[in-house]
Structure 1
Amino acid sequence: MTPGYVWALTIVAIGGLLAFDFFFHVRKAHEPTLREATIWSIIYVGIALVFGGGVWLLGGSQMGQEYFAGYVTEKALSVDNLFVFLIIISAFKVPRADQQKVLLFGIVFALIARSGFIAAGAFVLEKFAWAFYFFGAFLIFTALKLIHGEISGGDEADEADNVVIRLAKRFIRTTDHYDGDKLFTVENGKRVLTPMLLVMVAIGGTDILFALDSIPAIFGLTTNVYVVFTATAFSLMGLRQLYFLLDGLLDRLVFLSYGLSAILLFIGVKMVLHALHDNDLSFINGGEGVPVPEVTTTVSLGVIVGLLAVTVAVSLLSPRGQALTLLNKFKRESHRYLSSDFAGDAEGREQGYRDLSDLAGRVRQVPRKHLSEGDFDDVDELSERVDAHRRQSIG
């Protein structure tokens, strides 16, 4: 049992980090430089590692391993979340200087939402041991669904146009124009919502969906509520800086979803094995524990780190991974080009067009075995839209 004063000090420290982030980085709208994003990403990861070292020293090796296994898993899931954040922010065309505020809001909302899920999960697992069966089955289902979505080419673009956003646009007076990072502005003498508020609603909604996966996953590694909370919280710290650091590199982790699916599947199986070992359901083995092997925390940590390492290596080094990286870069840059009006920037328009034409040519030269016909059709369709946008900008 973690003492109350330790909880209090931890919460104050995390709140202090968030307040520092807001007042010294986010309050004044600006686009972080690569150097700034790199330095602060390293600092936040360093803080998480030092904290983990303290947990290991004061709480013992078992608790320390549980923290690091949970932290690595939650960090990997958080990086995957950045893909969806990128889609939402791009879809709403949030100005680069104002994206930090959206991201910090997302981090704070995620921490609040996940804290609620942690409290609920801890209560359920303490009162109902059979819940491990449910959580394990849910993670296995989520992993298989994620793999199926990747194989079938599921589109995440709808994340930015969910039912909450559509209802807000229909019943609330909104404008398509930003007014700095303000949530409300005055247009034609009337007070209206800016897209900034809609972006935050979209981010908040997806945060809740992310928590449904991440919280059962970490409870599959440890039931120590303090470890669950701190590993989750520190995995979210620095996510804003990581967004700007990885922007442009996210499309290189083309097989990350497969790696995360394997991790969720592994943890789901681990939870089911634990539930069978401690079984108290009368219709399973007469209410007695089933003699099945249990996966230790050391093995869990090794498997998680190993899966992530293989995922990154295959993404960066395999011919198909390199082909998908090139395709994703073309798609990302095309959408960025299409969202720009190029007012008074004819040189930037033409340079962007030349770069995209070069990228499209390189994608078309990729061997057919590495990309699908649908991928090449997407390149042709996007190229036509870019051509039309260029002609409209000139005219």
Structure 2
Amino acid sequence: MTIAIVGAGLGGLALARVLHVHGIEAVVYERESSRRARGQGGMLDIHSGQQALREAGLIDQFFLIARREGQDMRLLEPDGTLLLQEDTPEDAPLARPEVDRADLRDLLLNSLPEHTVRWGHAFESADNGVLRFTDGGSASYDLLVGADGANSRVRALLTDARPAHIGQNIIELSISDIDRTYPDLAAMVGRGNYWVLGNGQSLAAQRNGDGRVRIGLSFYNTPGDWFATKGIPFDDPAAARARLIELFDGWDARFTALIAASDDTIVPRALTALPAGLTWPSNPTVTLLGDAAHLMPPVGEGANMALLDGAQLALALAAHPDDYASAIEEYEREMFERTTAAAQQSTAVQELLTSPDASRRMLEFFQPDRRRANAAT
């Protein structure tokens, strides 16, 4: 049978790889023109997703590209108060290592036979076993898997659900080669994650494996049209940085120095999510994985769930090679239960971030013993 996967993200590639391990070939259709057509974002915290990489036979290679020191954490308040500093020992287990998304994607791509991924194929529609692409081309399929992300077009074949704004708007910045260009800021951020929370806003800085620090400025409890109302001139990077510094008025100067030091790539994003617990009637010819199936607040679960989706679907198909309907039902049953729990947890963390005392509540989240002690008193 012909398995067509729409989308060469982590979930779609994990599916193709685990299928290949079990002697089942699939075709991945990706709208991007090549693997280098666009940047792949920053670091990922891979924990439960390691199981998928084991099923893919790639766990040892993953550990070679993962960053143990990326598990470091610093949590601060806007006035500069340090609430938490966790530095990872050199012999610590790789329980939640950080890895560059691009490196992880390359690991999966390199593990697949040549021509598994068909670049430059943008999905337009599908019916009666025929895929149609925006360039007028077509291809046949017996099973179609939508791995095409938050704005999935395959999703409409199964459900009318659409992502909704979650009340968070984020602006992404970066500082290249920070150890050379801004050594003082590099020392402040450290080797992993640096997080400042308060006043309905946050500044998250994250060390990447290429020496870059990525910065996310989040604004909580804000509407979907927030960017249009705040007068941030994104077409003028210098003026945009100045306006962003104004929006963090009253924060310690060390934090706004990160904004001032950032380069001219400034990307606004209005964050959305699907309803937690979304399901649909099983269809033996179409299913979904990753953000196409369960887009959730970005607090560290999305990539892990996508990897597990791909592996679990492949294992179900391998277990029922002559009965795709049963394989899809088995996969979706497990996926719905697992990702509903992850989405609910992600939503709970999102609610912590939007609370008036976000920094203190996040401190308790990261230190359960402190949370239990506070509850006892």
Fold equivalence (TM over 0.5): no
TM-score of the pair, normalised by structure 1: 0.25
The TM-score, its normalising length taken from structure 2, stands at 0.26
> Would you tell me which structure has more helix in proportion to its own residues?
1
- Is the strand fraction higher in 1 or 2? 2
